[in-house]
């Protein structure tokens, strides 16, 4: 799969997802962000670990997800669950996002 096709597919699947989602290369370069992430000031082209507080990246499971070619989950502090999911047929790329109880409530309240 070529890079542009992967990015287009990412936007098709994750573009309107109600929490920030990023498509990331194993080098940690952010290849694409969804609309929610963009609205929060996240951009493609930066290193993923440069976004937010450095402590928030503790426990990153990107390497494990890519090495095992299997999605990984980490329950963080404050009811946050983090996800790393490898992209099929694109061994060096993964999707990363996190969901918190607060984000679920926000999305639910917005829908009502």
Helix/strand/coil for 95: strand
Give the CA radius of gyration of the chain. 14
In the chain, where are the structural domains located? 3-111
Q: State pTM to two decimals.
A: 0.88
Q: Is the pLDDT of residue 84 over 60?
A: yes
Residue 95 · residue 85 · CB < 8 Å? yes
- pLDDT tens for 91-111 read 899 999 999 877 766 666 766
Q: Is the pLDDT of residue 33 over 60?
A: yes
CATH class for the region spanning 3-111? alpha beta
Question: What is the rounded CA–CA span in Å between residue 53 and residue 110?
Answer: 27
* Average pLDDT over all residues of the chain: 90
Question: What is the rounded CA–CA span in Å between residue 16 and residue 33?
Answer: 11
- pLDDT tens for 48-74 read 999 888 888 889 999 999 999 999 999
Average pLDDT on 16-35 reads 96
Q: Which residue has the tokens 């090495």?
A: 67
Catalogue the E-assigned strands of the chain.
21-25, 30-33, 72-75, 80-87, 90-100
């Amino acid at each position: 799969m070529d890079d542009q096709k992967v990015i287009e597919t990412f936007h098709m699947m994750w573009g309107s997802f109600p929490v920030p989602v990023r498509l990331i290369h194993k080098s940690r370069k952010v290849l694409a962000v969804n609309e929610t992430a963009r609205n929060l000031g996240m951009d493609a082209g930066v290193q993923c670990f440069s976004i937010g507080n450095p402590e928030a990246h503790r426990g990153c499971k990107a390497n494990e997800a890519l090495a095992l070619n299997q999605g990984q989950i980490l329950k963080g502090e404050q009811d946050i669950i983090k996800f790393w999911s490898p992209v099929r047929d694109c061994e060096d790329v993964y999707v990363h996002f996190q969901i918190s109880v607060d984000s679920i409530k926000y999305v639910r309240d917005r829908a009502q």
